[in-house]
């Protein structure tokens, strides 16, 4: 299988993350799903790098490391936001955050 | 893992998934990425998420339905995306992509600090901004009043 196998796994992982992000009501689980999608992209980047597609200087692995750092920053700020919201609204369910609608 | 009712179970499944991805990176000849995956995802982000769950979970007495009403639309959208990407991946001729080329740490490190020096520096700035933002967001307003009085 080689490269194709890794890319298919990456696509499936991205799909799972997308489904979780769209379908779940819990804000923390939506953040977990975002991490899953970022990981899927990372996997495809590293796979392309390993099979030497358009990647001089191991740029695929470098991009993967950059994505990881950005994901860490995103998780930090996202979780701080979620905790701040839950502290005021007393619930992690996103469909009860309807202040702007009412 | 995204369908589990108890969010703690989802978080543990997520840690397993991150660990398997680290194994895949090692198989793909990128042990430095695997090490970073273990350190950042398994070490930092998982602990962060588990702490957030611990701080926000009111107790699992009556767990509500975990899904929105539009769960079927979400499933269809995700399946369409997976199908399209999978079709594109399998329909493409990837040539002789059969041999894994392990990364050479020396050239990769040199590339980070020469070709990718600007993204690297911007990244450190981004992390600083994220730290300050997280502290500002997560602090309780009453803490300031207590400090002032």
The predicted structure's pLDDT at residue A83? 86
* Nearest chain A residue (CA) to B25: A46
Q: Say if the Cβ atoms of A18 and B104 lie within 8 Å.
A: no
Query: B1-92 — its CATH code?
Result: 1.20.120.1200
Residue B62 has pLDDT above 60, yes or no: no
The predicted structure's pLDDT at residue A11? 94
Kindly report the number of other CB atoms within 10 A of residue B94's CB atom: 15
The predicted structure's pLDDT at residue B25? 92
Distance from CA of B63 to the nearest CA of A (A): 11
Residue B84 has pLDDT above 80, yes or no: yes
> Which pLDDT band, with edges at 50, 70 and 90, does B144 fall under?
low
Residue B115 has pLDDT above 80, yes or no: yes
pTM, two decimals, is: 0.86
The predicted structure's pLDDT at residue A64? 92
Separation CA B45–CA A52 (nearest Å): 30
The residues near A89 (Cβ < 8 Å, ≥ 6 apart) are A96, A97
Residue A24 has pLDDT above 60, yes or no: yes
Interval A84-98 mean pLDDT: 77
> Which pLDDT band, with edges at 50, 70 and 90, does B143 fall under?
low
Q: By three-state DSSP, how is residue B28 classified?
A: coil
Residue B61 has pLDDT above 60, yes or no: no
Q: Does CATH number 1.10.10.10 belong to domain A3-96?
A: no
Mutation target among A23, A45, A67 for the B interface, most CBs of B within 10 A: A23
Which of B11, B97, B110 is closest, CB to CB, to A53? B97
Q: Please state the domain extents for chain A.
A: 3-96
Q: Please state the domain extents for chain B.
A: 1-92, 104-149
Q: Say if the Cβ atoms of A77 and B134 lie within 8 Å.
A: yes
The predicted structure's pLDDT at residue A56? 67
The mean of the pLDDT values for chain A is: 86
The mean of the pLDDT values for chain B is: 84
B148 burial level (CB within 10 Å; 0-12, 13-18, 19+): exposed
Tens digits of per-residue pLDDT, A42-84?
999 998 888 876 666 778 889 999 999 999 999 999 998 888 8
> Which pLDDT band, with edges at 50, 70 and 90, does B123 fall under?
very high
CA angle A42, A85, B142 (to 5 degrees): 125
Distance from CA of A75 to the nearest CA of B (A): 7
Residue B57 has pLDDT above 90, yes or no: no
Residue B140 has pLDDT above 90, yes or no: no
pLDDT above 90: percentage of residues in chain A? 43
The residue that leads in pLDDT, A59 or B119, is B119
Q: Say if the Cβ atoms of A68 and B41 lie within 8 Å.
A: yes
Q: By three-state DSSP, how is residue B133 classified?
A: helix
User: CA-CA distances (angstroms) from residue A72 to A21, A34, B18, B142?
Assistant: 18, 11, 14, 28
The residue that leads in pLDDT, B53 or A1, is B53
* Residue B140: alpha-carbon gap to chain centroid: 27
> Which pLDDT band, with edges at 50, 70 and 90, does B18 fall under?
very high
Interval A17-40 mean pLDDT: 90
């Amino acid at each position: 299988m080689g490269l194709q196998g890794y890319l298919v796994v990456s696509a499936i992982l991205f799909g799972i993350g997308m489904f979780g992000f769209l379908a779940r009501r819990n804000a923390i689980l939506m953040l977990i799903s975002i991490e899953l999608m970022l990981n899927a992209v990372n996997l495809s980047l590293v796979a392309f790098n390993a099979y030497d597609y358009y990647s001089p200087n191991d740029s695929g692995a470098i991009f993967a490391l950059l994505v990881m750092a950005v994901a860490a920053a995103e998780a930090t700020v996202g979780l701080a936001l979620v905790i701040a919201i839950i502290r005021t609204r007393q619930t992690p369910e996103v469909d009860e955050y309807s202040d702007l609608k009412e | 893992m995204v369908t589990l009712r108890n969010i703690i179970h989802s978080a543990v499944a997520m840690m397993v998934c991150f660990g398997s991805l680290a194994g895949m990176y090692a198989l793909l000849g990128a042990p430095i990425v695997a090490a970073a995956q273990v350190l950042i995802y398994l070490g930092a982000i998982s602990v962060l998420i588990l702490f957030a769950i611990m701080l926000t979970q009111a107790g699992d007495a009556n767990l509500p339905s975990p899904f929105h009403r539009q769960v079927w639309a979400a499933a269809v959208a995700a399946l369409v995306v997976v199908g399209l990407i999978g079709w594109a991946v399998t329909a493409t001729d990837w040539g002789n992509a059969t041999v894994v080329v392990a990364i050479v740490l020396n050239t990769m490190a040199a590339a980070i600090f020469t070709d990718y020096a600007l993204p690297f520096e911007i990244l450190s700035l981004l992390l600083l901004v994220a730290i300050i933002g997280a502290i500002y967001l997560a602090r309780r307003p009453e803490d300031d009043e207590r400090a002032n009085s």
